Structure 1
Amino acid sequence: MSREFTVADGVAEAFPQLRIHLIAVEGLRNGEDWPKAADAMDELEADAAEGNWTALDAADPRIATWHAAYRSFGTNPKRMRPSVEALQRRLGKSGRLPRITPAVDAYNLASVRFGVPAGAFDLDALEARIDIRHAVEGDAFTPLGEPEVREEPKPGEVVYAQGTEVLTRHWNHRDADATKVTAETTRAVFIFDSVGEEAHEAVDAAAERLKELLSEGASVTDHQVLDADRRSVRIGAEGPQAQ
């Protein structure tokens, strides 16, 4: 069954330059080794150690546009950082990125390399429709790794949600526990977000790089793009539909 991803009118109006890539896979072998992806991660860490890669600073448009977006819906980006900034800062300070599962490592790698936020959902944990919208009273969120915790997003904060269940906080700061991609996940959708035209080239390149990395351990079956003009797409239908 495919899932519908929809950008709410209010989000499209507030962020008219948004561009979101959605990449669906089947047959994900996320409990196996992906040597090529692992080598790419080692190469990134070596580049960081040798000074051939450095974290983007806050003035870079790929980060600055997210800081502005977060502030616009009441989130302090210095306290709740966009996911890409948090990952880049981690690599810059420690010299390493976390190793979780090959698929998660792959999207983290593409996120850091190209400077755009990334995430993923287990397709089988999603309902028929997912909305990218402003949070409202009655929404609830269970943070990744904390299944016993229930948070109430601040109304107006941009979230991914299915019904009243929020799947991400602060757009892309943190994912929910119930829809996380694990070693047992076999069907997933990977997401890259951008809110400024300055990041469009980077987000497009990140999506293509991730598809290359995913090909080692999955079959890419669909690739769709959301923007302010194309506010609704269906993703995850069976059969090759990659654009």
Structure 2
Amino acid sequence: MFTITLSEEIKQACPGFAGVAVYAHVQNTSFCPGLWQEIDSFTAELTAATCLDDIKHQPAIAATREAYKRCGKDPGRYRPSAEALRRRLLRGIPLYQIDTLVDLINLVSLRTGYSIGGFDADKITGNSLELGIGRAGEPFEGIGRGVLNIEGLPVYRDALGGIGTPTSDNERTKMGLETSHILALVNGYSGEKGLSEAAHMIQTLLKNYTGSDGGELLFFP
């Protein structure tokens, strides 16, 4: 398991932050029918009970949007991933299918409203991460997005630099079919409430669909 700390600047901007990490051995696959039955079921529930204007008021999403403002980013221009996923479904656009690990992280994010980082743990440099705030000109290649301006975004950094923000993770540490160890980071800008449930949801999906034993949990800071 990694050591995860918070920078002084993120502590000042987001004093109520709490997080949980899930580290597990996994076997990824390109597609999992059982998982997609769960995704399709949740999509039907969400679209039947929610409208677009409701999304930003979901507690975890609202807290992440507020964190963006405190850190210096406009959440209307750089949406947290959980918000972007819900908006996608509410606009009638199906969830994109990537692979089992990415798909299950997306499902938990959709269900809980947390923006969750999912990383190939073996691609992380060093054994520690720090959550800070992105700086002007800081290099960051978002997955499928090209160079991303992360100034004012909360960002996890390893020994080489940024690996994940609530808007997008970095190409350098992204998961793929070769991934055998996952590190999932649940960002609780709304505090500790709900973190355990989200972490156990990840563990259950990993057990059901990746042959994992669920791995280890680390609550931080």
2: CA distance, partners of 1:33 / 1:58: 30
Match of 2:158?
162
**Residue of 44, 56, 66 corresponding to 1:46:** 44
Correspondence list, 1:1-243, <5 A: 2-26=1-25, 28-31=26-29, 33-49=31-47, 51-52=48-49, 56-94=54-92, 96-128=94-126, 129-136=128-135, 139-145=138-144, 149-150=146-147, 153-154=150-151, 156-168=152-164, 171-197=165-191, 200-216=192-208, 217=210, 218-226=212-220, 231=221
Report if the CA contact (8 A) 1:167-1:176 is conserved. yes
Counterpart CA distance in 2 for 1:58 and 1:76 is 13
Q: CA deviation at 1:219?
A: 2.9
Structure 1 residues not aligned, in runs of 5+: 232-243
Judging changes above 3 Å, is the alpha-carbon distance between structure 1 residues 150 and 111 closer, same or farther for their aligned structure 2 residues?
closer
Change (3 A) 1:151 1:89: closer
Aligned pair in 2 of structure 1 residues 115, 17: CA closer, same or farther (>3 Å)? Answer: same
Q: What percentage of residue pairs aligned between the two structures are identical?
A: 24
Deviations 1:58-116 (A, max 9, x none): 23332222221111122110110011100000011125211111111111111111111
Say if 2:58 and 2:113, in contact at 8 Å, map to a contact too. no
> TM-score by structure 2 length?
0.87
Aligned residues: 217
CA distance in 2, matches of 1:139, 1:80: 16
Query: Is the CA contact (8 Å cut-off) linking 1:30 and 1:183 kept in structure 2?
Result: yes
Distance 2:174 2:87 in 1: 23
SS of the residue corresponding to residue 103 of structure 2 reads helix
Q: 1:114 to 1:166 in 2, by over 3 A?
A: same
Supply the distance in 2 between the matched residues of 1:105 and 1:196 (Cα, whole angstroms): 24
Structure 1 residues 15 and 31, CA gap change in structure 2 (3 angstroms) = same
Task: Give the distance between the partners of 2:196 and 2:40, measured in 1 at CA.
Answer: 23
CA distance in 1, matches of 2:71, 2:202: 29
Whether the 8 Å contact between 1:141 and 1:150 is mirrored in structure 2 is yes
Root-mean-square deviation (CA, aligned residues, Å) is 2.2
Q: More helix by proportion, 1 or 2?
A: 2
Q: 2:136, 2:177 → 1: CA distance? A: 34
> Which residue does 1:240 correspond to in 2?
none
Q: Distance in 2 between matches of 1:16 and 1:179?
A: 27
